[in-house]
Structure 1
């Protein structure tokens, strides 16, 4: 029987539970970003009620990033030790609960602690997304799956920021947190009802399991627990291909954190737009990133189906995205509002295109260490969330202009492109040394 015959006949009648899992990951990621961005929407009014000056507000913003970044690796370890269903589901409930509690805060210290806890609880989320798509999807569908859940963050920001702003205006800042936290807690109950590993899901039949496994998915990865050793961490930190994607993720998050922190101030201070216009314009790049992310995933999987190598299929949209994102620097040469919208939207569309980087984590991580690998990847990437706002602030204070800041962002993006061109050579899965695997007998 030919390979094509097998692909068309052997999986006849297969279930499609993997799409249900993907839909849940999409909705959960939307909630994830609503909860982490709730404070930024509430801040203009909240800071007055809590007597927060700029320094304290900045510290409150940073509380999430510090916790989120440095709990990535412990979060990944928990995923590999206890599984994504338990760790992600509990994390969803906890971060939503402590987001809800922010509606009652009356002091800076309480707000800081609650934001810090939200950061800890959200830390396993994206490594868990990567782990679950690697378990549930064959390789030729994984690009689209990653693109869909990864683009949910932009969809959520574009769709729900106006909703949160309406709550702020009509009901007060407290209700932003009640709403954001409440829907997350409700979702957590559906999570535990609907999410299982492929081998344990009531809606999965054997044909779908075979389809996932034959396509390179790890449908049975949840059944095997590997004790994480320091030798494993050292391997993941010294592997050339992994170093390349770590550098790339740091570079990619540089433009993300420019948009999440300084972009509204840039539009007001540098380009002279009103707050009302900023509220509308700031959502457009997020919609562009959503579209770019979906297109990147479909392009990658299409190239793979046409017989292109994994390196070509994954790296083509990623490198194109990095190079196109660097055109953000062109905004230095115009005062036209329309031109600025176009430039920023193209740059963030391209960021969405390059967001396929998470697919390579699933393609290259040792199958026993999907969570830890994602944790290390996201730790290094999110250091940009700490560094970028600070560096841009220093540039702005020294020059009183964002021109240098956009040059800085564009330069880092070019470094990311070079990393994928010259360091990430031919992506392939890392195999752990046999003696480090569980239940392995040594040859004599």
Structure 2
């Protein structure tokens, strides 16, 4: 391939998109199965929330260790192992014969999937130059929302033909096959891949060539949002080059705190929305499937658009969309207190909610790329994703506890307050840029 100019990184991204769609379908299918699980195993709202939360507890607990494992053994090996184990535990959920078994297996899915996310983001960081990382991350995270988008109609069909157990048997197979494909087709670094030309490897690795400098200077002249740089506290900072520096950085922990609330809201929509539609709105199974998919259709659009805007309009600034997402999600969560009863109107409202929620969602993943080097990024994102998954663990359980005492109005109000706190926290971190703009 040395004599040709390849674009293999985009094939890697396409494979990442498909794989993360499958991985997130594995975690989302419990939400649609939950009403049927509760019929077979008597449980309170709090117990149902615990089954959902245990996935995120296992997932969060292994994020930082996974960062170190990916740093040591490479993304290729850790991704393959994690995806295979995720698929195995997913299939075993369909064999559960008690609430305890359900809880244990769901935690197993979370533990197994932990290195998958770190390996995926480390692959993007290694396989794409800085000017494409926002776009690549947006496309990748769109896959995380496509999973929950396809889950409701697919689960509705499986349940109508067979039952809830077959959901988990069905979802086990694609992950196992794709993990093997990944192992043979994706190397840890572009230069190690037999499918990547020397020109592409150099394009990815050399971000400081004369051509790049000229392009950056051109971008600086074109990018005139000096006032936005003031708001997001843009400044030039030294990258975090050791794990010790990463653990001492408020910017990394601040991003983790903000991600805590965003992932918490997504996990509630993924896990509790079908129950809300069945019990409160009294929708039939196919209408429930249609409306449940709406916010994730929106997040697919929002992730694509947000990643592109971050790279091409905001000149690699990540905080602006993080802050816009936090503010707009506050408004949308509050609006759901008076959600319409018509399924089509509610689906539209949830679609817009998904778009706004996803605009800055990928920025939480890309932000540590600008504060670290490629070696320390897995550890940094491990910290950020730990914060996010702790939110994913706590929010569904918190919702169950609220519902046992209050109602869904209190749930949506709590989510709106959480999103507002996210805005306040994200505002405190620095926007790392090479050329912060100032008024002439």
TM range (shorter): 0.7 to 0.9
2:196 maps to which residue?
204
Match of 1:391 among 388, 393, 398: 398
Structure 1 residues 428, 238: closer, same or farther in 2, change over 3 A? farther
Of 377, 382, 394, which residue of structure 1 is paired with 2:389? 382
**In angstroms, what is the RMSD of aligned CA positions?**
2.6
Whether 1:360 and 2:363 are equivalent positions in the alignment is no
* Residues 334/34 of structure 1: CA separation in 2 closer, same or farther (3 Å cut): closer
Q: Identify the match of residue 237 of structure 1 among 217, 241, 247.
A: 247
Displacement after TM superposition at 1:258 (Å):
2.3
Is 2:155 the partner of 1:176? no
Q: Is the 8 A contact 1:396 1:405 kept in 2?
A: yes
Structure 2 equivalent of residue 404 of structure 1: 410
Question: d(CA) in 2 for partners of 1:167 and 1:271?
Answer: 23
Instruction: Please identify, of 150-159 and 316-325, the stretch whose mean Cα deviation from structure 2 is larger.
Output: 316-325
Correspondence for 1:280: 290
Distance 1:272 1:103 in 2: 27
**Could you tell me which residue of structure 1 aligns to residue 104 of structure 2?**
113
How much does 1:275 deviate?
A: 4.5
Aligned to 1:132: 123
Structure 2 residue aligned with 1:322:
326
Q: Is the 8 A contact 1:364 1:428 kept in 2?
A: no
SS of the aligned residue for 2:195 comes to: coil
Change (3 A) 1:46 1:246: closer
User: Please, which runs of 5 or more residues in structure 2 have no aligned partner?
Assistant: 210-240, 435-440
Aligned residue number for residue 432 of structure 2: 427
Measure how far apart 1:418 and its partner are. Answer: 2.7
Partner of 1:82: 73
Q: How many residues align?
A: 397
The answer on 1:260 being equivalent to 2:260 is no
Query: Alpha-carbon deviation of 1:110?
Result: 3.3
Q: Once the 2 structures are TM-superposed, how far is the Cα of residue 343 of structure 1 from its aligned partner? A: 3.1
Whole-Å separation in 1 of the counterparts to 2:426 and 2:52: 31
Partner Cα distance (2:122, 2:411) in 1: 35
Give me the whole-angstrom Cα distance separating, in 2, the residues matched to 1:270 and 1:111: 25
Name which of structure 1's ranges 158-167 and 265-274 shifts more when overlaid on structure 2.
265-274
TM-score by length of structure 1 reads 0.82
Partner of 1:53: 43
Other-structure match for 1:145: 136
State the distance in 2 between where 1:369 and 1:378 align: 14
| Higher alpha-carbon deviation: 331-340 or 153-162 | 331-340
TM-score by length of 2: 0.83
Which residue does 1:248 correspond to in 2?
A: 258
